[in-house]
Amino acid sequence: MTKKEYLLQYKDAQREVDRLINERARWIARATKVTPTYTGMPHGGSGEDRMQDAVERLSEVEDELNDKIDRLVDLRREVDTAISTIGDTRLETVLRYRYINDFTLRQIARKMSYDYYYVCHLHGEALEKMTINRNFFMLK
């Protein structure tokens, strides 16, 4: 695993948390959806079963979400520690913007008032100077 791949783990974990948050919202909507029936005809009780299934699935998604959030917090700490090994605030800022805040290199250039190509150079220099504890590679 390269340094860049290591840093990208945080963005991937964040996307997974976002996906689970959206899935949780869908299951909440299903569990709380009430569809009244106005006919006098008898019908089965499948609506209650669907609600129970939705509540059970919601519980599973919330458990998975909590686990992923815990992992995300740990990974954020580890990525930030790795970035801090550079020892140059400017280079560290470029990597934090890129891999923690999910900015593009063009956005970073605008934010830092630098030329795009200079930010590309700083990004490469930062990756080169960063050191990673080899135990971090065992996380995935």
How much helix, strand and coil, in percent to the nearest 5, is found in the chain?
75, 0, 25
Top-confidence residue, 41 or 18? 18
Q: In this predicted structure, what is the pLDDT of residue 97?
A: 97
Length of the chain as a residue count: 140
Q: How far is CA 47 from the centre of its chain?
A: 34
Q: How far is CA 121 from the centre of its chain?
A: 27
User: What does the pLDDT look like over 88-103, one tens digit per residue?
Assistant: 999 999 999 999 999 9
User: What does the pLDDT look like over 42-89, one tens digit per residue?
Assistant: 555 555 677 778 788 888 999 999 999 999 999 999 999 999 999 999
Domain boundaries in the chain? 3-34+47-135
Average pLDDT, the chain: 86
Q: In this predicted structure, what is the pLDDT of residue 139?
A: 46
CA-nearest of 66, 60, 55, 67 to 28 is: 55
The tokens of 117 are what? Answer: 């190509």
Q: In this predicted structure, what is the pLDDT of residue 140?
A: 43
CB 19 within 8 A of CB 111: no
Percentage above 70 pLDDT, the chain: 84
Q: In this predicted structure, what is the pLDDT of residue 138?
A: 45
pTM of the model: 0.74
